[in-house]
Every structure is written in structure tokens, then in C-alpha cells.
Chain A
């Protein structure tokens, strides 16, 4: 059987405040369309038969959208009816059933990432660091392009670690590659203030990168806990759409993928802790995963890392048994706080809001004092203020009603507007997705593969759509994406294969600047 994530479409990318689906090639996109069509067809047939008020020609698109993204996120049929839809779904392609279920529920998975990212004080700390990086970059950006720079070696910190001889060798190789028509003129990086600034940015990126570094015996990174939270919601979503057989099939497949893998480690560890007869309650597991995401690097650095909090949680469950945590979310959080001796979650969350207020104030002040005439710093301040607004909203919401966030069925049943709905970004790795130019107005924002496009046909590289109930300001989202893409391309030493870095290289080339990748 193909791996469940042979088609890994969804990825949460904190450089875009929304849900991202990436299609590396045409076959992947077609497969995704096929599964979406099948899901819609099965639900449509089901809705025509079961839903009162559905017209003879089938439900409207609005009804389908409501089902997928709106109030219910579920098939409103009885358990037996859901089961029947699920069995048909599996039977349509048994060999790839798990992968197809993953595709059908990818949006719910990524949507939870978006909400966790807004809620988590650990993630909010990373966003604040990112804003600081962008502010530092604002003082560098003119210097990097002064004196007719044609080439910038990226990531810059890696370039600066090379000896002068190594740098010369690389330039020689690059010049041969580019040909004499493109003379290589590098930025002058000899000024101490520039070097200090780059080093400060590099340090911040190293702190952010801790999230992606494998920790301890498990060989997985902190993102495994974010994945656990999203996976638990995804399993519930599959249950609500396709019934119990489908959700069990998917859940078991994910828990039994051999290590190291981010997706199953939480489930596998927790199931290993269950005593005979103990049931793994989705509500309890989701509450534990959420608690692991509430660390705050500023308030309680020693206990901030999500994987460290996970090891605390494992010790607590070992000591008391999993079933003793089957209780309301706030009580689970209190028990975990008390038993592991970490700062109480209410305090962590409140401190995070307070710190965020200060960061926003500082950035706004810097933007006000900026006399350069550029709006670059103002854009950073606005983006940070916006993200902090939603962090505050999510954090306060968790404090007043933790159950509806940590109990997956309740979370998926929340009314539109109760949680911020993310915009949907689709990115295409290659030029294969053509649409009539007249259809471009249907998207909120579009980037094209210009070379592959014609006067009639537009070749999509990226589209952004506001979904029903969407609240994220797309101008702010665009600013954040632009800043992240630019800074990551120049400075980040991890995730260098992400499509956004490639897109930034293409964008820069249009203005006559080449980013040349340092491969080691």
C-alpha cells in the first residue's frame, strides 16, 4: 500500500497566515481533484437523499461549502449513513484508501494548525522573533543592493562562514555557470554594522530553528506535537464525514507508521501508556496535546519546548494512568501543571499577551520614528499587531472555554465566526495549472508563471482565496508572506527546499538580482 502521506499536499507554513495546499506536479493536483470530486459526489448523493430542503438537482455549492468549511464540517447523517458513505469511499480505491482519506480531510488538519499557531504562546514567541528579524532586515536591505549588486549568495550566514579562498572558488564556479553576460557583483559585506546585523538575524533564526531540530530518543522535532493536535482533529473530521470504519483505518495507519515520523509519535506513545481496558479518548489526548503547545519561552523557558512538555505529560500519565485524565479540559491542564511543576497555563497565556502588547508597541514606535519615507517598518508593525490581535483572541477564548477548543467534536461544530477562518493558499511547483485570464477575478490574489502564460491563458503559481467566514486581512497576510519569503531566502539555514524560497528567487530575478544557493 502506498504510504498514507505519499501525497503530502497540506503543510502548515507559519510564513503565511492561512492554510496552504502545495501541488508539486500535475499528477498530484489531478489526484487531489479526483479525491475531492469523489468526496463531493458521495456527500452530494447523500445530501440529496437525506437533507430536507435539498433540491431535486442536488444541493447548492453554498450547501457543500457549508458542509466542508462552515458550521458543521461533517456529514449530518446518522452514524449508519456516515458509515455507508465511508465504506463507498474506501471501496472506490481500497489500496490507497488511507492516502485518499488524508487528502479528503487535509483542510481540517491544516485549519487546526492555523488555530494552534495563533493560540500557542510558543508560536507567538516565534512570530515576535520573526518581526524582529524583519525589522533588522529593514536596515540592511538597501546596503545589500547598493553599488549594482547582481548576485547575493544565500543563505548569507553560510556565505559569511566561508574563507576568502572558498568564496573565490565559488564565485569562479558560479561565473562559469552564468556566463560572461552576467557579471557577478556581490554586496559589500565588510561594514561591521552590517555584519553585526546579519549575525543578530542568524541568531534569531537559530532560535526559531529549534522547532525543527530532532530531540532526544524519539528522533522527532517539536512540530510532532503540532502534528498530533492536527491529526486528532483530522481523525474526528474523518469520523464525522465517513464514519467509524474510516476513522479507525486512518488513525491506526497513522499510529503505526514506523519511526521516526512526526505524525504518529504522540498517538503511539499515548497508546503505549494505556493500561488494558483503557480507551484512548480523543478529548483527553487533544487536551494533552494542546497543553504541550502552551509553553512560553519568555515566562518559563525551561519548560517551553513542546516536546519537553510532552515528556512531562508522559510522566504524569505514567504516574496516574490515562483514564484519570478523562475530565474537563481545565482540570486536565491544572493537573498537568501541578504534577509537572511548570508555570500554570493561565499565567503563561496572560504573560504571552502582555509580551505581545509590548512587542507591538515597540514596533509601532520604530515605524513612527522611521524617517526613511519607506513603509517597510510600518508594514511589519501592522502585520505583528494583527497576528497579536488574533493570538490574544484565541488565548482569551481558551481561558474562558477550553473544552470547545480541546474536544474535537465540539471544536468542529463551532459556529462560523467563533474561530478565525483561514484563507486558502494553493501553490503549484511547476507551470501546469492553466486557467482563462477572465477567471482570475475569482481569486483574492494570484501569482503567475509569467513565462508560461499567454494573453488568453494564465499559468498559476499561487492563488489565495478567502473562504466563507474568512477574517484574515489578505493585505496583512500578503505583507507577512512577503516579509517571510524575503528574509527566509536571505537568512534561513533550514527548509531551503520550500517552494516559497524558489518563488522569491524568481521574483528577484525579474528585477535583475540573482540569489545563488550555498549548498554546503
Chain B
């Protein structure tokens, strides 16, 4: 079996969301390697929102590994702990907003969409 394709991903969101995603990554270290976590360094349209913005950059082993993040993102959006996040891969940027939180599967679909060739 061939190794899954590695994918770099950058997520901008509320500091609480990014902290939780970093914990998920640490718990799944064989699938997700964190490159960096911290306050967003570059200005972003997300800053037009009302909270601080943090960033996590990670390398994931295959698009399927993104599923690890879906439930955490779903819960944050569903509970209104976050209003919006952006997911960037080398291929595209996907903006996910609170009203997308209809199910964890929908969030997973959007995450996978960010890596669609």
C-alpha cells in the first residue's frame, strides 16, 4: 500500500478553537504533525471579527486525517464558541461559518473540499 499524500494545512480561528485543534493533533501525532501554533501573524479578513485570531499550521497524512478535526470544529461552531474559521491548503481556502455546523460530516466534507485537486 502506498503512503497517503502529505498535505500542509493552515487553520485561522479563535484561540480556543486553535488550542483544541492542537490538542487533537497531539493526540493523533501519527496522522498530524504540528508545524506551528500561535497568534495569527498576518492580517486577515478574519480580524474584522471581534476576537483575537490564532493560527495552526500542520502537516496531515492524507486528506482522510482531516476527519480528526471535524468533530472539534463542529462543536465549537454549534456551541457558538466560534463564529468562523478559515482553512487553507496549497490548493484553496475554505471559509467555514457557524451555520455550516449542521453535522460533523458536513464539516468534514468542507475540510476535505479544501484539499480537492
Question: Residues of A with Cβ closer than 8 Å to B?
Answer: 2-6, 8, 11, 24-25, 27-28, 31, 173-174, 176-179, 209, 212-213, 221, 257-258, 260-263, 429, 493-499, 501-502, 505, 514, 516-520
Tell me whether B86 is interfacial, beta carbon within 8 Å: yes
Secondary structure call for the A interface: loop
Residues 1-60 of B at the A interface (beta carbon under 8 Å): 5-10, 12, 35-36, 42-52, 57
- A520 CB to closest chain B CB (Å) equals 5
Q: Which residues of A lie under 8 Å from residue B10 when comparing CB positions? A: 519-520
B contacts with A, residue count (CB < 8 A): 38
The answer to whether A24 touches B90, judged by C-beta atoms less than 8 angstroms apart, is no
Q: Are B100 and A519 in contact (CB under 8 A)?
A: no
Whether B50 lies near A261 (C-beta < 8 A) is: yes
CB-CB under 8 A from B86, the residues of chain A are 497
Chosen A-B contacts, 12 in total, with CB atoms closer than 8 Å, are: A3-B83, A8-B49, A11-B45, A27-B100, A31-B99, A213-B43, A257-B50, A494-B44, A496-B88, A517-B91, A517-B92, A517-B93
| Contact residues, B74-101 vs A (CB, 8 A) | 80, 83-84, 86, 88-93, 95, 97-100
Q: Is the CB of B8 within 8 A of A176?
A: no
Q: How far is the CA of A519 from the CA of B10 in the complex (A)?
A: 6
Bound form: Cα–Cα A262–B88 in Å: 24
Q: Are A179 and B93 in contact (CB under 8 A)?
A: no
Given that A263-B50, A429-B95 are contacting pairs, would A517 and B90 also be in contact in the complex, using a CB cutoff of 8 Å?
yes
CB pair B46–A497 under 8 Å, yes or no, is yes
Instruction: Please give me the residue from chain A that is nearest to B117 by CB atom.
Output: A178
Complex Cα distance A257/B83, Å? Answer: 15
Once A497-B12, A497-B95, A516-B90 are accepted as A-B contacts, the answer to whether A262 and B52 lie under 8 Å apart by CB is: no
Residue of A nearest to B8 (CB): A519
User: Nearest A residue to B10 by beta-carbon distance?
Assistant: A519
> Which residues of chain B come closer than 8 Å to A6, judged between CB atoms?
83, 98
Cα–Cα, bound, A261→B48 (Å)? 8
Q: List residues of chain A with CB within 8 A of the CB of B35.
A: 520
Distance of A509 from chain B, by nearest CB (Å): 10
Given known contacts A494-B42, A497-B93, A519 and B57 CB-to-CB distance under 8 angstroms: yes
Report the 4 A-B pairs with minimum CB-CB distance, sorted nearest first. A27-B99, A212-B43, A494-B43, A497-B86
Let me know if B48 and A262 touch, CB within 8 A.
Answer: yes
> Does B6 contact A176, Cβ atoms closer than 8 Å?
yes
Q: How far does the alpha carbon of A517 sit from the alpha carbon of B7 in the complex, in Å?
A: 12
Max chain A Cβ within 10 angstroms of own Cβ: one of B50, B88, B97: B50
What CA separation (Å) do A8 and B47 show in the bound complex?
A: 11
| Separation of A261 and B44 alpha carbons in the complex (Å) | 13
Contact, CB under 8 Å: B42 / A177: no
Report which residue of B7, B12, B42 has the largest number of chain A beta carbons within 10 angstroms of its beta carbon: B42
Which of A176, A505, A518 makes the CB contact (< 8 A) with B92?
A505
Q: Are B93 and A496 in contact (CB under 8 A)?
A: yes
CB of B39, distance to nearest CB on chain A (Å): 10
- B90 contacts which chain A residues (CB < 8 A)? 173-174, 177, 516-519
Contact of A176 among B5, B47, B84, B95 (CB under 8 A): B5
Q: A3-B83, A173-B90, A497-B12 are in contact. List 11 more A-B contacts (CB 8 A).
A: A3-B50, A8-B48, A177-B90, A209-B43, A263-B50, A494-B43, A496-B88, A497-B44, A499-B95, A502-B93, A519-B57
